Amino acid sequence: MRTDHQSTDWELIDRYGSLVEDPVEKLKFVQRCGRTLPTARWRRRAVTLESLWLASRRAAKELPARDAVLLWTFRHRQAMRRLSSAAVVCLLLLPLRGVSAAAKRRGPNLRPSPEAALSFDAAAGSSRVWLVETIGHTELYSNGLRVGNDLRSRPAGTVAPIERPVGIVFHTTESDLAPLEPDHREQLRRRGRDLLEYVRRHRLYHFVVDRFGRAWRIVPENEVAHHAGHSVWVFGDQVHVDLNGSFLGVALEAQSRPERTPPADLTAAQLHTGRLLLEMLRSRWGIAEGNCTSHDLVSVNPDRMLVGHHTDWAGGFPYREMGLANPYAQALGSIARFGFGYDEAFLEATGGRLEQAIRLAEAALEQQAGERGLSTRRHRRQLQEQYRRLKRSAAAARPEA
Ligand SMILES: [Zn+2]
């Protein structure tokens, strides 16, 4: 409920807001003023000063030359603008310093408050996808995405943080699925609920998209989820080892089958939501397209130095439908960069769909060996040793990964 005092402020804001021609700038101005209303009077004064500055800009544009007072204002508008700008900057800097000092006093907080989320989105005003509103536990984003926070995992102890996610690994949940028929309504609901509860208990993914296309945030993006295990991803010059510490995990409730691509159980609603979620996460965290990948491409077995410890998606992640370039047609980084091998079980589990990625990686490996005057076998051994060293240092830096 607004007090009389605030109502007067809002009238003032509306009046000054009408002086701003650009609709986007106007909205920003009104929102900025609105956020300062419940705060101290001297901060409101800063806004009033800013409003006056806007008014003087507009007056300078539309000045009737015969009005002596306004003419004087017009002649001295540069000086007035500089003066009011300096005053606004000084007044606005004071609360900023206060906020950062308060943040320091609070110490690290892994769970963003709703206010923090809002200020992030406000800061990323030019982003394509932004948070529109939060009603209850549900967030609505500008691209139509809805994210439920009802099932967020609350860790019992300290959790490992992700400073800023740099990529996304897509998974299938590989869970039991009921037929998508009205006769199986109860079974569908029960299995979905059990799955989400399991994921929540084990903090397996950041997000799950269920069969009805609902997106659930299980683990906040700035906390580690246990989704990728031993893993390698290479994108250009970037080499990522053990992705839990830097990549988000998004799972679609589906089962991979070597003979199906994409999994036949995947629903149109899931694909649609998966795409919206991808858009939001890329927009929010500035994630490169080349760092959006699937578990079948990144999972490795370091004990046997083989690719494909996990094979969910089985070479069938719908990259094209998700608006992404297809990495299945590129050299598999774990082989080309670190000399991993592959076996028949991997080829079978992925229905032979990763043969091209393997062939390209093996060819790259041979070429590198030739350029260095080494046998492919020796070059592979050297690359594997590099991997082990990198893994040891990654483990030392992130013991939880
Ligand atoms: Zn997986």
Task: Determine the distance separating the centroid of ligand 1 and the alpha carbon of 172, expressed in angstroms.
Answer: 6
What's the rounded Cα separation, in Å, for the pair 272 and 56? Answer: 48
Task: Determine the distance separating the centroid of ligand 1 and the alpha carbon of 175, expressed in angstroms.
Answer: 11
* 382 CA to centre of own chain: 35
Give the pLDDT of residue 97: 37
Burial of 223 (0-12, 13-18, 19+ CB in 10 A): middle
Give the pLDDT of residue 158: 85
Q: Which residues contact 94 (CB under 8 A, 6 or more apart)?
A: none
Give the pLDDT of residue 374: 97
Task: Determine the distance separating the centroid of ligand 1 and the alpha carbon of 191, expressed in angstroms.
Answer: 18
Write out pLDDT tens, residues 185-198.
999 999 999 999 99
CA-nearest of 342, 336, 282 to 309 is 342
Task: Determine the distance separating the centroid of ligand 1 and the alpha carbon of 296, expressed in angstroms.
Answer: 7
What's the rounded Cα separation, in Å, for the pair 187 and 210? Answer: 14
CB 392 within 8 A of CB 385: no
Task: Determine the distance separating the centroid of ligand 1 and the alpha carbon of 38, expressed in angstroms.
Answer: 46
Write out pLDDT tens, residues 255-277.
998 887 778 789 999 999 999 99
Give the pLDDT of residue 264: 79
Give the pLDDT of residue 147: 98
Q: What's the predicted TM-score (pTM) here?
A: 0.68
Give the pLDDT of residue 189: 96
Task: Determine the distance separating the centroid of ligand 1 and the alpha carbon of 18, expressed in angstroms.
Answer: 53
Task: Determine the distance separating the centroid of ligand 1 and the alpha carbon of 105, expressed in angstroms.
Answer: 39
Task: Determine the distance separating the centroid of ligand 1 and the alpha carbon of 216, expressed in angstroms.
Answer: 17
Give the pLDDT of residue 262: 79
The domain locations on the chain are 4-106, 114-397
Give the pLDDT of residue 150: 95
Give the pLDDT of residue 111: 33
What's the rounded Cα separation, in Å, for the pair 361 and 330? Answer: 8
To which residue do tokens 């991803």 refer? 233
Task: Determine the distance separating the centroid of ligand 1 and the alpha carbon of 158, expressed in angstroms.
Answer: 24
Task: Determine the distance separating the centroid of ligand 1 and the alpha carbon of 224, expressed in angstroms.
Answer: 15
Task: Determine the distance separating the centroid of ligand 1 and the alpha carbon of 104, expressed in angstroms.
Answer: 37
Task: Determine the distance separating the centroid of ligand 1 and the alpha carbon of 231, expressed in angstroms.
Answer: 11
Task: Determine the distance separating the centroid of ligand 1 and the alpha carbon of 130, expressed in angstroms.
Answer: 28
Burial of 387 (0-12, 13-18, 19+ CB in 10 A): buried
DSSP string, 144-211: S-EEE-TT----SS---B-SS--EEEEEE-------SSGGGHHHHHHHHHHHHHHHHHHT--SEEE-T
Quote the tokens at residue 72. Answer: 């004087």
CATH number corresponding to 114-397: 3.40.80.10
Cα distances from 185 to residues 150, 195, 209, in angstroms, run 21, 15, 18
Give the pLDDT of residue 363: 97
Residues (pLDDT < 50) of the chain are 1-8, 10, 22-24, 27, 30, 39, 59-67, 70-71, 74, 88-126, 401
